[in-house]
Amino acid sequence: MSSKTATYTGFEFEVEGYPALAIINKDLADKAVQAEHPNAVLIEIIPDTYNEFGHPDEKEYDYLLDVESKMIDYLEEQTQTVHVGHTTAFRKREIIFYTKEVEKVDGFLNYYLSTVERETFYEIEADPEWMNVSAFYELL
């Protein structure tokens, strides 16, 4: 399942009094697809420059999209991973994937995120029920 042909939808919400945004792949609402990808991959990137809401400014936004696009290209082509989307909150961009291949994804992220010129964190955890993103899919 390629994110290049997927349908995404946006959500607005608040986190700690600040506006937040989410862009979520609607095509992954199918429980059969979710069952094939039982591990959440949560990647956090701290933007270098941001506005009064803590969201990346235009140049930083473009940089973060490019970083995300490169991750999508590799993970979707080289592993059994799906791109769920991303959230933008106060001084934080979180990129969300789900995967079947934890070791391959971990190896790639360990290398690739070291090349991203921003502060980054990631975790991969078992989440067969997709609880990390269930609130978004319940709203569809």
Q: Look up the CATH number of the domain holding residue 80.
A: 3.30.70.260
Three-class secondary structure of residue 96 per DSSP: strand
Domain that holds residue 122: 3-138
Q: What is the pLDDT of residue 2?
A: 86
pTM exceeds 0.85 for this model: yes
When divided into structural domains, the chain yields a total of 1
| pLDDT per residue of the chain (140 residues) written in tens, 0 to 9 | 788 899 999 999 999 999 999 999 999 999 999 999 999 999 999 999 999 999 999 999 999 999 999 999 999 999 999 999 999 999 999 999 999 999 999 999 999 999 999 999 999 999 999 999 999 999 98
Beta strand pairing call for 18-25 and 92-99: unpaired
Measured distance CA(126)–CA(100) in Å, rounded: 10
